Chain A
Amino acid sequence: DTGVSQNPRHKITKRGQNVTFRCDPISEHNRLYWYRQTLGQGPEFLTYFQNEAQLEKSRLLSDRFSAERPKGSFSTLEIQRTEQGDSAMYLCASSLALGTNGELFFGEGSRLTVL
């Protein structure tokens, strides 16, 4: 399977704990996005990488969130000191750059539940 892979698929944690999600994009894709989605809402943009460079970060993203994409391959999204409001589905997507090749391929998502 050469699609976008996300791990873990589900994570239940207690408030205040740190969690980390991993995304493995399609190998030749240089753009990688993280989105957050809550029930009944559209995917909310969190951050975006082109290769290893983090080019955009949502102003809604607090300092507790950090993302990396070392070497322009897989990416990690870490949430420190989790809060109940962080409970959501975290979606990763990858694409080729721009134009008609800009289709986003989404992973299955990592569902976070903060108790």
Chain B
Amino acid sequence: QQPVQSPQAVILREGEDAVINCSSSKALYSVHWYRQKHGEAPIFLMILLKGGEQKGHDKISASFNEKKQQSSLYLTASQLSYSGTYFCGTEMISGAGSYQLTFGKGTKLSVIP
């Protein structure tokens, strides 16, 4: 079941903040966040495990609400280098007991001077 991301695209000026949301209709084991720049492979940002945790890295942080099956990525004081497409990946436990990571369609973030 593919997670749903919103917004699909956002344009920011340097220094502005943004929030990207990710929601799932299924119970989640974890949520991953990745950023992909044009023509490059996705790069890992962070993992959030169930338990309602919050994580941060520099000015990028994220939260995971297990009950609502939602995660949000917060970008504070955006920099030009933040531009790219952000994907959330949701990890679920399948009926067979194995783990599958499914990505959303992405949120394209453009930071302009």
Contacts and interface: CB of A to CB of B under 8 A. Distances in A.
A14 B30 CA distance: 40
Contacts of B2: 42
Interface residues of B, number: 25
Interface stretch (A22-30, A66-74, A76-84, A98-106): A98-106
Interface in A2-39: 33, 35
User: Main SS of chain B's interface residues?
Assistant: strand
Contacts, number: 59
Contact of A42 (B40, B98, B103): B103
A45 B101 contact: yes
Contacts of B43: 106
Contacts of B49: 99-100
A38 B96 CA distance: 28
Contact of B105 (A41, A103, A106): A41
A45 B106 CA distance: 14
Given A41-B105, A50-B98, A56-B100, A100 B41 contact: no
B104 A104 contact: no
A55 B98 contact: yes
A interface: dominant SS = mixed
B110 interface: no
B44 A103 contact: yes
A102 B87 contact: no
Nearest to A108: B41
Instruction: Give the interface size class of chain A.
Output: 20 to 34
Nearest to A50: B98
A42 B104 contact: yes
B87 A42 contact: yes
Interface of A: 33, 35, 40-45, 48, 50, 55-56, 91, 98-100, 102-109
27 contacts: A33-B101, A40-B106, A42-B87, A43-B42, A44-B103, A45-B101, A45-B102, A45-B103, A50-B98, A55-B98, A56-B94, A56-B98, A56-B100, A91-B42, A100-B49, A102-B30, A102-B32, A102-B47, A102-B101, A103-B44, A104-B42, A104-B89, A104-B101, A106-B41, A106-B42, A107-B41, A108-B40
